[in-house]
């Protein structure tokens, strides 16, 4: 059964805008009765992510939107270290979707898949946000072609088709912007940025693979948000103290993996 965990930074610009994409994806899943978890804002960090995966091992999809680098998913914070190649062992057999996020398919994606991650979706280039301009709402276009990928993925289409659906929808907007270059002052920029968003995106994994049916919302599950809320109500030091008290096994793992 498929059980996603959404990891959605919201504070460091422009993650507020990418978080709006993920909010719509999650709303779509609620409408179809999917069960999922979400770590948002300050909760989108290395510690809460690891504890969430330990708390419910049924999680098999990690959907991330935020800052990235060739070797890391950044998470919320100044230091870009939420997920790196060294973390492959606790992501084994999981599907990682890093969209939108910059450059994650350059090194991180291939190395994680080589070390046992089931599939990785991401870009090997910089990815660009879109905004509402005076002549046109490019933001809604960006939301549309990005959520096209997630709709395809969560509807059970093969992974290769999901990536192609994203590229096809982005191509439609690119051609539209080209036709408006003489009318819309920012159209040329969005031709360029949407083209890079499209061309850099790739699947690393089996294109014929696809998601299993969803774990439905009425099924019992542990409330991962409880851990997040507890941790966020304390300082970083106090959060670790809570972890050592209520989850000694998790604490041992955190120390061994140099997460804390």
Q: What's the rounded Cα separation, in Å, for the pair 33 and 43?
A: 24
How far does the chain reach from its first CA to its final CA, in angstroms?
Answer: 31
Residue 184, domain member (yes or no): no
How many domains are there within the chain? 1
Residue from 184, 21, 239 nearest 10 by CA: 21
Q: How many CA atoms within 13 Å lie on the side-chain side of 173?
A: 29
- Provide the pLDDT for residue 218: 65
Residue from 212, 239, 211, 210 nearest 227 by CA: 239
What does each of the 260 residues of the chain score in pLDDT, given as a tens digit? 999 999 999 998 889 999 999 999 999 999 999 999 999 999 999 999 999 999 999 999 999 999 999 999 999 988 899 999 999 999 999 999 999 999 999 999 999 999 999 999 999 999 999 999 999 999 999 999 999 999 999 999 999 999 999 999 999 999 999 999 999 999 999 999 999 999 999 999 999 999 999 988 764 443 444 444 334 433 343 333 334 333 444 445 555 655 55
Residue 225, domain member (yes or no): yes
For residue 88, the Cα-to-chain-centroid distance in whole angstroms is: 16
Q: What's the rounded Cα separation, in Å, for the pair 249 and 235?
A: 21
Residue 79, domain member (yes or no): yes
- Provide the pLDDT for residue 245: 37
- Provide the pLDDT for residue 77: 80
Tell me which residue range forms the domain holding 50: 4-129+201-256
Residue 156, domain member (yes or no): no
Residue 73, domain member (yes or no): yes
Residue 38, domain member (yes or no): yes
CA dihedral 86, 87, 89, 95 (to 10 degrees): -130
- Provide the pLDDT for residue 19: 96
Predicted TM-score (pTM) of the model is: 0.85
Q: What's the rounded Cα separation, in Å, for the pair 62 and 68?
A: 14
Residue 148, domain member (yes or no): no
Residue 51, domain member (yes or no): yes
- Provide the pLDDT for residue 216: 84
CATH assignment of the domain containing 125: 3.40.50
- Retrieve residue 203's tokens: 């699947």
């Amino acid at each position: 059964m498929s059980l996603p965990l959404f990891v959605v930074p919201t504070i460091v610009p422009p993650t507020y805008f990418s978080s709006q994409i993920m909010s719509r994806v999650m709303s779509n899943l609620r409408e179809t009765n999917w069960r999922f978890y979400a770590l948002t804002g300050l909760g989108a960090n290395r510690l809460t992510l690891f504890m969430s995966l330990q708390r419910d091992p049924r999680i098999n999809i990690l959907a991330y939107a935020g800052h990235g680098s060739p070797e890391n998913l950044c998470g919320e914070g100044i230091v870009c270290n939420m997920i790196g190649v060294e973390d492959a062992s606790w992501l084994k057999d999981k599907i990682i979707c890093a969209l939108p996020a910059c450059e994650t398919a350059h090194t991180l994606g291939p190395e994680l898949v080589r070390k046992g991650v089931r599939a990785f979706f991401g870009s090997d280039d910089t990815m660009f946000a879109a905004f509402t301009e005076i002549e046109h709402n490019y933001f809604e276009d960006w939301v549309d072609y990005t959520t096209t990928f997630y709709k395809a993925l969560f509807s059970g289409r093969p992974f290769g088709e999901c990536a192609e659906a994203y590229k096809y929808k982005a191509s439609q907007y690119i051609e539209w912007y080209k036709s408006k270059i003489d009318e819309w002052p920012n159209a040329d920029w969005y031709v360029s940025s949407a083209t890079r968003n499209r061309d850099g995106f790739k699947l690393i994994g089996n294109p014929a693979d696809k998601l299993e049916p969803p774990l439905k919302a009425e099924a019992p599950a542990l409330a991962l948000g409880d851990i997040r809320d507890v941790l966020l109500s304390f300082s970083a030091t106090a959060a670790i103290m809570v972890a050592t008290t209520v989850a000694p096994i998790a604490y041992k793992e955190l120390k061994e993996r140099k997460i804390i």
